[in-house]
A and B are shown apart, each in its own frame.
Chain A
Amino acid sequence: AQSVSQHNHHVILSEAASLELGCNYSYGGTVNLFWYVQYPGQHLQLLLKYFSGDPLVKGIKGFEAEFIKSKFSFNLRKPSVQWSDTAEYFCAVNAGDYGGSQGNLIFGKGTKLSVKP
C-alpha cells in the first residue's frame, strides 16, 4: 500500500534558521506530490505541488521542495524561517494516473514547526 513518511514530528527553530522537512513516499509508479500547511486555527492550504518537469518546485512564502525520484523523497526547504511560519506541515501523494486516484490524497502524519522569535 502507498504510504508517506515524514521524519520529524516536531521541529523547533529560531528565526532566520534554515529549514528542511523530510518526506518519503512508497510507490513505484507515477506520483503527484504536495506539501500542505496548516497555520494555527486555520484550514489546510496548499503550499506547493509537483507533477512533472523541473524537480525543484517553488511555492508560496519562499518555500521550495525538491523531488528526488531515486530516493522517493520530496523534502521541503526554506532558507530563512520567520515566526509566522509556525504551523503544521503535511506531505501528500496522489499516486497513479488521472483515472485511477482522483480524490485520494495520501498524507503523512505531519511535522509541527515552531519558530522562536
Chain B
Amino acid sequence: DAGVTQSPTHLIKTRGQQVTLRCSPKSGHDTVSWYQQALGQGPQFIFQYYEEEERQRGNFPDRFSGHQFPNYSSELNVNALLLGDSALYLCASSLGPSGSFIGELFFGEGSRLTVL
C-alpha cells in the first residue's frame, strides 16, 4: 500500500523563481493538505484541497497556490520565491476533509526547498 509520495525530494532555486511541488496521496485518500516546516519550527498549515477545490487556507500569501487533479494528486506552486520560503514542504493526505480533524493525516517525507 503506497503511502504519501512527494517529488522532488530536494531542490534549489534562486530568488524570484517559481517552483512546483507534487504530491500523490495515500491510496484511497481524496484530500490533500500542504504544510511548510521551516528549520527548527513545527509544520505550518498552508491549505487543503478536496474535490479539486481549495477548502481551507492558512496565513500564507497569494504567491502560494495549489491544484488538485481528478486522481486526487496535488501540486503546490510558489511564485516569486523569497529566501524565507526555504523550508521542508510536507504533503498530508486523508479520507475526506474531516480526516485531518480526527487526526487521520498521513504525511509524506517532504520536499526540501532551498532558495538562494
Contacts and interface: CB of A to CB of B under 8 A. Distances in A.
22 contacts: A32-B101, A34-B103, A43-B106, A43-B107, A45-B106, A46-B105, A51-B102, A90-B42, A101-B56, A102-B101, A103-B31, A103-B33, A103-B56, A104-B56, A104-B100, A105-B35, A105-B100, A105-B105, A107-B35, A109-B40, A109-B41, A110-B41
B90 A44 contact: yes
A103 B3 CA distance: 19
Q: Top 8 closest A-B pairs, CB basis?
A: A107-B42, A103-B48, A44-B107, A49-B103, A102-B97, A103-B56, A43-B107, A43-B109
A19 interface: no
Q: Categorize the interface residue count of chain B.
A: 20 to 34
Interface residues of A, number: 24
Interface string A89-101: 0101010001001
A98 B56 CA distance: 13
B90 A32 contact: no
Interface in A37-51: 42-46, 49, 51
Contact of A102 (B44, B100, B108, B109): B100
B58 interface: yes
B41 A43 contact: no
Nearest to B56: A103
B109 A42 contact: yes
A104 to B, nearest CB: 5
Contact of A103 (B44, B45, B103, B104): B45
B55 interface: yes
Given A101-B56, A103-B56, A46 B42 contact: no
B42 A110 contact: yes
Nearest to A110: B42
B102 A43 contact: no
A29 to B, nearest CB: 14
Interface in B40-62: 40-45, 47-48, 55-56, 58
Contacts of A51: 102
A113 interface: no
